[in-house]
Amino acid sequence: MAITLCPVCRKKISTRAPRCPHCHEDVSGNDPELASRQRSQQRKKSNAMKIQLALAMTLLVICIGLMLLEMNQGKPLPSPWYIGIGLAAAAWYVVTRLRMFLSHR
Ligand SMILES: [Zn+2]
């Protein structure tokens, strides 16, 4: 018996269960409306994550650019703001990548 995620409430359920024991949604696969709703939800989620990836990447590139600019102007260290925001953007990127990877399993 395998375990899957309920497409509606995202809780763990058996693949054999015709209905989710948590939210009582029909998960037997005989509900075409649910299947298409699930697909469009997944598409929306993956699009949102792609946008987040692009934003995080843009932020990271801007921060690195600003840091390089500062170093070119002869400062020994870039502003801690750029380092902080750059690190946050990098972390955001990695977390979003991880979430995409997990949701595609
Ligand atoms: Zn459910």
For residue 95, the enclosing domain spans: 40-103
27 Cα to the center of ligand 1, angstroms:
8
Q: Collect all residues with Cβ–Cβ distance below 8 Å to 83 and sequence separation of at least 6.
A: 63, 67
Distance 18 CA to ligand 1 centre (A): 11
- CA 59/CA 39 separation, integer angstroms: 30
Determine, yes or no, domain membership for 46.
yes
Tens digit of pLDDT for each residue in 78-87?
A: 888 889 999 9
Q: Kindly list the averaged pLDDT for each block of 10 residues, start to end, along the chain of length 105.
A: 84 87 82 78 90 96 92 85 93 94 79
25 CA distance to ligand 1 centroid (A)?
A: 6
Is residue 48 in some structural domain?
Answer: yes
Whether residue 78 contacts residue 65, with contact meaning beta carbons closer than 8 Å, is answered with no
Both tokens of residue 97? 């990548």
Is residue 17 one of the residues assigned to a domain? no
